[in-house]
Amino acid sequence: MRRVGMLTSGGDCQALNAAMRGVVKCLFYSGEQVEIYGFYDGYRGLIYGNYTMLTSRDFSGILTKGGTILGTSRTPFKTIKDPDPNGLDKVEAMKANYKRLNLDCLVILGGNGTHKTANLLREEGLNIITLPKTIDNDLYGTDMTFGFQSAVDVATNAIDLIHTTASSHGRIFIVEIMGHKVGWLALNAGMAGGADIILIPEIPYDINSVIGAIQKREERGSKFTILAVAEGACSKEFAAMSKKEQKEAIKNSRYPSVSYDIADKIIAATGIETRVTVPGHMQRGGSPCPYDRVFASRLGSEAGNLILQGEYGFMVGIKNREIVRVPLEEVAGRLKSIDPDASIIKEARMLGISFGDE
């Protein structure tokens, strides 16, 4: 009898259910006896022993369902070793619940913070397998994370819809795309949606260059401009600040986000009506796109295969379109950001897209 625990941690996204379904289908179709324990609300469920036993029926019909049937929560890695308000040692509690259920392994689906805690549990002696979940596509060791392509589809649709009103009214529109630390989502959605200017965290912008790009479009007869702005985009001045200075600047800003700051500066310089649209959490919602359904199923299947082989301590990812096993210690704490000199950036520039830096 194999006893497998499973949890989803961090922000939700499309294809979490599809990935879990892939794991379970692989295990049940192997013919071995398996018990699946689902922990509710991420690491919180593992800490406080809030779980349920699941059967194959629980995973039927969820391939196309967004969100997560187990629920999720954020349990920051930076405080994972701090006692809870009642003095409970969270790490020891997770280990105790794992051992109390006599689990053979724990399958964890999540992003960067989730993987740090997963690797900590591996170091504490637990058998861990992880699956790469995040719409930011910023996990090291894998070319793609599930949820990313679905989020690109949502963000691209938002830009597509903005195009008609922008062209009708001759306005400038800023579409703020999720991505605090990396710009994969803004870059891909911006290119797919035909944005004229794309601002991402990896390439700090000069507001004068942004305004210059808009004015050049006006000179060529373009009546409108679309900007795809990652929520973590920053000016060159901001990027040059220390972390302490950056925190103070954010704290003292009168704007809810960088997009509104940029909009005000554009209006002041050009006099053109500029609006901000924020798709927000819609980018994480809805059904997974077909790509993510297939991709998450492949990852889940390989995770199930690792369990059957008794091989633990890996994240299941993808490299060059092939599913791979990546040691957890190589993933935890590392961010996959965009190289400003990457070919996709150069190709975008050749299309006339401005990144506000030149």
Question: Of 250, 284, 318, which residue constitutes the final position of a domain?
Answer: 284
User: How confident is the model over 276-305, as a mean pLDDT?
Assistant: 97
Closest CA to 331 of 153, 142, 137: 142
- Together in a domain, 80 and 162: no
Percentage, residues of the chain above pLDDT 70: 100
pLDDT at 46: 98
**In the structure, what pLDDT confidence band is assigned to residue 353 with cuts at 50, 70 and 90?**
very high
**327 token code pair:** 């040691």
Does the residue 345 lie in any domain?
Answer: no
Closest CA to 143 of 293, 300, 315, 9: 315
**52 token code pair:** 């349920």
Is 143 in the active site? no
d(CA 358, CA 100): 59
Exactly one of 12, 58, 89, 136 is catalytic; name it. Answer: 136
pTM for the model stands at 0.95
- Together in a domain, 69 and 124: yes
Q: Are 230 and 260 in contact (CB under 8 A)?
A: no
- Together in a domain, 36 and 52: yes
CATH number at residue 217: 3.40.50.460
pLDDT at 177: 98
Give me the number of domains the chain comprises: 2
d(CA 114, CA 120): 10
pLDDT at 189: 98
Q: Dump pLDDT digits (tens) for 101-135.
A: 999 999 999 999 999 999 999 999 999 999 999 99
Does the residue 352 lie in any domain?
Answer: no
Q: Which domain holds residue 94?
A: 2-147+288-331
d(CA 305, CA 119): 20
Q: Which residues contact 189 (CB under 8 A, 6 or more apart)?
A: 151, 152, 155, 156, 158, 159, 177, 195, 228
CATH number at residue 109: 3.40.50.450
Does pLDDT of 358 surpass 90? no
Does the residue 124 lie in any domain?
Answer: yes
Q: Dump pLDDT digits (tens) for 56-114.
A: 899 999 999 999 999 999 999 999 999 999 999 999 999 999 999 999 999 999 999 99
Q: Which residues contact 185 (CB under 8 A, 6 or more apart)?
A: 135, 136, 137, 148, 151, 152, 155, 177, 178, 179, 230, 283
**204 token code pair:** 């700090």
Q: What are phi and psi of 271, to 5 degrees?
A: 75, 5
Q: Name the burial class of residue 347, with classes exposed (0-12), middle (13-18) and buried (19+) by CB atoms within 10 angstroms of its CB.
A: exposed
Does the residue 172 lie in any domain?
Answer: yes
d(CA 140, CA 184): 13
pLDDT at 291: 97
